[in-house]
């Protein structure tokens, strides 16, 4: 039962971030929570976890819970409608939601979805790229390996014929 509530909470708020183009009236009809309702739901979750439902949290998990809750409060302060947030804030909110979901359902850190906004060469329109933390880490490792492979050649003078003056 509690996990259903948790899943519904996560899905409801994520839909609010994802449907940013819709007006607030249709969002309310669609069941998307307001930021105030979402923050109060997080407070209810805190009370449930303090009571040991559905599981007790470790000290590390409580620190993570506190950090994520304070970031939610900072991001959603003075916000009436998530659709009015800047795109960078929406992505930050989405990434934070993924962190929170992983913490609450004991998901692995590698499975959470991380999104970034990037501008492609030749275009001023940013695109949203999403990948799992594991994929992101593998991409970084491949990039490091590529750079390490060419690093010995950086700064060395080009090979040329000996100077016979």
- How does DSSP assign 39-107, residue by residue? HHHHHHHHHHHHTT-S-PPPHHHHHHHHHHHHHHHHHHTT-S-GGGS-HHHHHHHHHHHHHHHHHHTT-
pLDDT band for position 120 (50/70/90)? confident
Q: Decide if 129 is inside a domain.
A: no
Q: Decide if 105 is inside a domain.
A: yes
Q: Is the pLDDT of residue 141 over 60?
A: yes
Q: Decide if 101 is inside a domain.
A: yes
More confident residue, 147 or 153: 147
Q: Number of folded domains in the chain?
A: 1
Q: Is the pLDDT of residue 103 over 50?
A: yes
Tokens 């998901």 correspond to 107
CA 82 to CA 8: how far, in whole Å?
Answer: 18
Q: Decide if 121 is inside a domain.
A: no
Give the pLDDT mean for 134-143: 89
Q: Decide if 61 is inside a domain.
A: yes
Q: Is the pLDDT of residue 26 over 50?
A: no
| pLDDT of amino acid 5 | 52
Q: Is the pLDDT of residue 161 over 70?
A: no
Count the neighbouring beta carbons within 10 Å of the beta carbon of residue 71. Answer: 16
Q: Decide if 58 is inside a domain.
A: yes
Q: Is the pLDDT of residue 66 over 90?
A: yes
Q: Could you tell me the residue range of the domain that residue 88 belongs to?
A: 2-113
CA 53 to CA 35: how far, in whole Å?
Answer: 24
| pLDDT of amino acid 69 | 92
Q: Decide if 131 is inside a domain.
A: no
* Mean pLDDT estimate for the chain: 75
Q: Is the pLDDT of residue 23 over 60?
A: no
| H helix count then E strand count, the chain | 6, 2
Q: Decide if 70 is inside a domain.
A: yes
């Amino acid at each position: 039962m509690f996990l259903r509530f948790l899943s519904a909470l996560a899905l409801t708020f994520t839909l609010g971030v994802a449907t940013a183009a819709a007006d607030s009236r249709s969002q309310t009809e669609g069941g998307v929570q307001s930021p105030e309702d979402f923050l109060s739901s997080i407070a209810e979750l805190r009370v449930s976890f303090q009571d040991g439902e559905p599981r007790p949290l470790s000290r590390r998990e409580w620190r993570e819970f506190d950090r994520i809750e304070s970031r939610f409060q900072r991001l959603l302060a003075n916000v009436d409608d998530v659709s009015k947030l800047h795109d960078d804030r929406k992505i930050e909110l989405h990434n934070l939601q993924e962190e929170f979901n992983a913490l609450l359902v004991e998901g692995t850190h590698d499975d959470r979805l991380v999104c970034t906004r990037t501008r492609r060469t030749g275009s001023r329109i940013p695109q949203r790229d999403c990948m799992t933390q594991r994929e992101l880490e593998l991409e970084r490792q491949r990039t490091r390996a590529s750079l390490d492979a060419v690093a010995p050649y950086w700064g060395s003078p080009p090979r040329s014929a000996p100077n016979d003056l």
